[in-house]
Amino acid sequence: MGSSTDSLGSQLDDLDFAILTQLQDDGRKSYTDIAKALGVSVGTVRNRITRMVNDGTVRFICRPDAHQVGFHTPANIKVSLRPSALIEQAAEMIATFPEVYYLALVAGEFDLDVDLMCRDQEHLSKLITERLHKVPGVYATSTSVILRTFKLSFPDLTLVKPGLKAPSE
């Protein structure tokens, strides 16, 4: 039995992947432009995108530049929890922090990987000391302040769907 990602990936056909590839560079690309690029009808593109939105395959979001909007201290925090029975409860609590935009259970030295955006170092310091360390089970943390982002994107879909044509091809 494959993972949920495997089963989801198997529900998508070549046209779904081609549409997603078209949207990766510009999530606002028109149905008409996508249809023209792929040689299908606008209705087909609209129906496919609607289905993928409804089933949770794709979600359209606006991601502003953190520094441009006032988040001058983005950070990554690794969190170790004890006992491990508290991992789910802690993850649910940390997920409610408005600064958190990515939270994952990970294997290795730490249990959770948390990416967040803070206004400044004081904001980050208070988040760690006054909120994060008060979450039941939080045993240890390791914080890295993100100084500069060199790449922010989703991996190329051809990695899971070999032979898929890139939008520029």
Q: Which has more confidence, 65 or 33? A: 33
CA distance 78 to 93: 15
Q: Are 41 and 35 in contact (CB under 8 A)?
A: yes
CB atoms within 10 A of CB 13: 10
Mean pLDDT, rounded, of the chain: 90
Q: What is the pLDDT of residues 94-120, one digit of tens each?
A: 999 999 999 999 999 999 999 999 999
CA atoms within 13 A on the CB side of 110: 17
| pLDDT, position 125 | 98
Domains and CATH numbers, the chain: 4-61 (1.10.10.10), 73-145 (3.30.70.920)
| pLDDT, position 152 | 84
Q: Where are the beta strands (DSSP E) in 70-166?
A: 73-81, 100-105, 112-118, 138-145
